Structure 1
């Protein structure tokens, strides 16, 4: 039958005398085999424990060849050798594992792509480290989920004005984007949603939509006279014109929270300082590249730099969405299906973030909560999803998040 063999790290590099590795090697009294492709080729199960999550250089070709020679299943310890535990990016050749066992806490590389796929099924093992150790590690990254934030409570004395008022700037050319943002905001629990149209013709188109949405052609200056309009969405369906950067600054100057997306991000390409004053930025990778430059294979670091540079929470969208706060906090969202990649779903997300901010959640918590709820609604909708399918499923996703218990 198939043999099981372990390839101790001592055959890839001798343990340093007096080190923990040397002490562990001294306690091993089982069989020892050469670290070679021939031995690996005999294995039915290979336990890959050559390198861990802190790898800072490409894996040696010899090591990669030995691991690749195993014909059977691979169980990785911590991460598959060659995977950067901080970024989820391969450093050289990485043999995908069937399963990975890690310890104490997950690493970012277990959640970020392609690490999430290369790790296979991830098991988190308790090795007796108390939670009190966590502050000494200094980590500021979390797996996104309801334990990281709490959705706004339902006050029995609340009315529509106490639940916040989201105002969405609509464009003449793509009115559907603003309508999708409005749907996300309404299902997200805000008390009132207004679509601000640039002209009467656009307003008439918007009035033909959902009856519960307020439509107005009033100027931004006039709308800002009502301080109950505490959250704004700028970007969905807007042309990338400089005037929208000026409007963002105008709204932020009176203390309103702004979620900046799409057209506003495009208008600020190469000049991210123009977005200062926004509460949350929601770029996809292309928009991020034009705003802040290359991501360079490290999405958490790139998002953190962008947040620090603008003073805004940055939600970098993708199959492994990351949410970064200016103070360095980071959430990684792996709770979203691939069919969420459909036109218009980002507009729903922008409206949902604004709704949570309007109800009192701080921007980082609102962005993280919205990303999770948005993904959960997509799971509930099923494959074949289009953007219009998302809002009806937000109610159940929100109830699921509220019912979560630590």
Structure 2
């Protein structure tokens, strides 16, 4: 009964965190268009400079995608935005690069071949709110609440959460399984299916920008956790399809999620976002290698028991230590490349997202 009351208190805190996060997320496209509109005729800027004005050059790829593909692009002077070094790059309107060159020359910008000399005409005096700077500060504030160490109780049940997307909607799934460290990981699956599962849906309010995934996925993940807390079994630990502390700011989506719900979490990714292996390891089933940065171990490379040469990258999220996240993930590996809890969450989220498309 005491643990149930504590869980309900955690759920209430998660709900408050969700409301705060949801209401304060910036409209990144509106922020971007406000910056593009400031570029005067006869001047040019770069995707990187726009990303810097948003608060982080890591957003440069997203800036380029929006300017090339978004239906609003034709309303703004996107022909004045170039690649780094002054290369013209692609253009969203008919005529492509040829039309981009024509418009720039009409405004008095000298174009030689496919390049502009940035020195005499580059515009960088943007005025804006730098929303990514504010989001990074929010991560720094949450990092102060990060607690790393062995779990307070034995890990016997493990859940996975994952998010899929369809038509502007995020669909998150939760699947919980039993941890079975004594099973034969090479010959038999962990389970024929999860012990319990659920899904949650929410419109997407934030784009994918490298190292800012948490702000895209946390709103629907917090919705999902409320459903788990009110209706289903809570696991001893949650595997999240995303980084834990193996992240440039030591607080990826798995760590932020764990801090906000005050629950043990582990981050699992298929690609390495940060850090380096401490040694060369020949790929092999069940092999592991430490992932470090500046002499500090932040996680593990873990090779699946399927024999895949591509490792998974595992790191603590909240209220677990390095040894626990390594051991739990190894115990959850079976005939598939992904740990069983994340495999089922991924499968369920994709299925639910397809059903969303059919329903529409």
TM-score, normalised to structure 1, is 0.24
Question: Which has the greater radius of gyration?
Answer: 1
Structure number with the bigger relative contact order (C-alpha 8 A, sep ≥ 6) is 2
